Amino acid sequence: MFEIKTMNNIAQEGLDILAAKGLAVNDAAGDPDALLVRSAKLHDMAFGSRLLAIARAGVGTDNVPVAKCTEQGVAVFNTAGANAQAVVELAVCSLVLASRDVMGGALWVRSLAGRDDVEAAVEAGKKAFVGPEIRGKKLGVIGLGAIGARIAKTALSLGMEVVGFDPYLSVEAAWHLHSDVKHAEDVQSLYRTCDYILVQVHHNEKTHHMIDAAALAQMKDGVRLINLARGGLVDEQAMLAALSSGKVARYVTDFPSAALAGAQNVVAFPHLGASTPESEEKCAIMAAQELADYLLNGNIHNSVNMPELTLERAGVCRVCAIHDNIPRMLNSFLDIIGGENINVEHMQNRARGPVAYTVIDLGSPIGEDLAARLRAVPHVRRVRIL
C-alpha cells in the first residue's frame, strides 16, 4: 500500500479521496511514497528512497525543491486553476482598492469614534479619499494562465479595456481566453499604455523583480499596480521610490513585508489569495486526484517538472520510466522487454526539456529481475512497475 505524508492541514474532502482509493495517509510517516503539502518548506528536507511524488495544494511551488525532485525522478504536482475563483474575486477587490482609498477612508472613520460631529466631519473630510472609477480604464494583465485569463474576462465585464501579454501562452490557455482581450506585441507596449497593471506569472529566475525601476519608468504616470501572484516579482525598493515620486499611484499586493507594511499608498493583504474554504477544498481534491492517479496508474497531469502523459490501462502490467530525454531510450526498453517475448499492448512517450517519461503496458507480468535490468539502463532516473 502506498503511504502519503501530509505536511500541512489538508481539507478532509481531499483526504477522503485518497482513502477511497486505498491510499494510506499518515502525517508521521518516516519514509512515505508521496508528500501532500500546502505551505510547508521542503528545501532542507531529506527525501527517502521511496518518495515518488509531491503534490502542492496550491499553484506556486517555491516551497518545493523542484530541480532536486527532477534529478531524483520525483514528480511534483500543483493545482493550477483550483483556487482561480478565489484569486479572481480578490483581484476585483484589488482593482477597487487600487482606485479608491476605501481602506484609508474606513480607518479614518474609525478614528472619529467618540466624537459627536461624525456626520459633519465625514462630509468635510471625504474628499481626501476619492479616486477614479475603473470602468473605461485600460487594464494590462501580464500572465494569461488559468487565473490571469479569468481576471481578464471579469475585468471586461466590469467595463474595462483589457490587454494581455504572455510569451508562454499555451494552446489550451488560448482557447479559454476571451476574444475581446487584446494582445500586446510586447510587455513594453503594455507598460506604456495601461492605467492598471496586474502581474500574474510564476516566480522564477527569469521573472524575479520583473517589475523593477526600468519597467516602472516605462509606465504611465499614476499607474496602479496589482500583484497577487508572488512577492518576488516586484522590486520593493524600486516600487517604494515610484510611489514616493507619484509614478505609481497605488500598489496592491498579497505579499506584505517590513518595507511595505507601513508604506503610504500600499494596500497589502496577508496572503488572502486562496484563503477561502471553497478554494482549500478544491485544491485538496485536485491534489489528491493527481497523486492517486500517478501512484496507482502512472499518469501525470498538472506536473511542474514532468511531461504531461495520461494513458488508459491496457494489458496486465505497466512500466513507468522517468529518464533523460536522449535518443534510443525507448529502443533500450523495448529491446529488454522483447528479449523476454513479452507483448507490448500499448505505450506512450513524452518529453519536457531534458526529462522524458515512458509508459509501456505489457501483456504479461514481469519479475524483479527484468525490472532491475530496466532500471540499470543508462540515463534512467526511476522505473516503476504497476
Q: What is the CATH number of the domain that holds 53?
A: 3.40.50.720
CA distance 277 to 109: 31
Per-residue pLDDT at 98: 97
Q: Report yes or no on 70 lying in a domain.
A: yes
Q: pLDDT tens across 343-356, in order? A: 999 999 999 999 99
Per-residue pLDDT at 172: 67
- Report residue 45: phi and psi, to 5°: -85, 135
Average pLDDT over residues 119-125: 94
Mean of pLDDT over the chain:
94
380-385/317-324 β-pairing: antiparallel
Q: Report yes or no on 342 lying in a domain.
A: yes
Cell triple for residue 327? Answer: 535518443
Q: How many CB atoms are closer than 10 A to CB 125?
A: 13
Percent of residues, the chain, with pLDDT higher than 90: 88
Q: Report yes or no on 125 lying in a domain.
A: no
Q: Report yes or no on 148 lying in a domain.
A: yes
Are residue 194 and residue 330 in the same domain, yes or no?
Answer: no
Are residue 256 and residue 296 in the same domain, yes or no?
Answer: no
Are residue 191 and residue 336 in the same domain, yes or no?
Answer: no
Q: pTM for the full model?
A: 0.80
Q: pLDDT tens across 199-208, in order? A: 999 888 899 9
Q: Report yes or no on 112 lying in a domain.
A: no
Q: pLDDT tens across 272-324, in order? A: 998 899 999 999 999 999 999 999 999 999 999 999 999 999 999 999 999 99
Are residue 225 and residue 246 in the same domain, yes or no?
Answer: yes
CA distance 84 to 81: 5
Are residue 283 and residue 349 in the same domain, yes or no?
Answer: no
Are residue 92 and residue 214 in the same domain, yes or no?
Answer: yes
Over its C-alpha atoms, the chain yields an Rg (Å, rounded) of 25
Q: Which domain holds residue 336?
A: 307-386
Are residue 224 and residue 298 in the same domain, yes or no?
Answer: no
Average pLDDT over residues 160-167: 95
Closest CA to 182 of 203, 221, 155: 155
Average pLDDT over residues 102-112: 94
Cell triple for residue 361? Answer: 503496458
Q: Report yes or no on 32 lying in a domain.
A: yes
Average pLDDT over residues 222-233: 96
Q: Report yes or no on 7 lying in a domain.
A: yes
Total number of domains constituting the chain: 3
Are residue 72 and residue 173 in the same domain, yes or no?
Answer: no
Cell triple for residue 58? Answer: 496550491
Are residue 88 and residue 144 in the same domain, yes or no?
Answer: yes
CA distance 360 to 314: 9
Are residue 155 and residue 201 in the same domain, yes or no?
Answer: yes
Are residue 297 and residue 313 in the same domain, yes or no?
Answer: no
Q: Report yes or no on 122 lying in a domain.
A: no
Per-residue pLDDT at 354: 96
Q: pLDDT tens across 32-91, in order? A: 999 999 989 999 999 999 999 999 998 889 899 999 999 999 999 999 889 899 999 999
Are residue 52 and residue 91 in the same domain, yes or no?
Answer: no
Single residue among 244, 268, 292 that ends a domain in this structure: 268
**CATH number of residue 311's parent domain:** 3.30.70.260
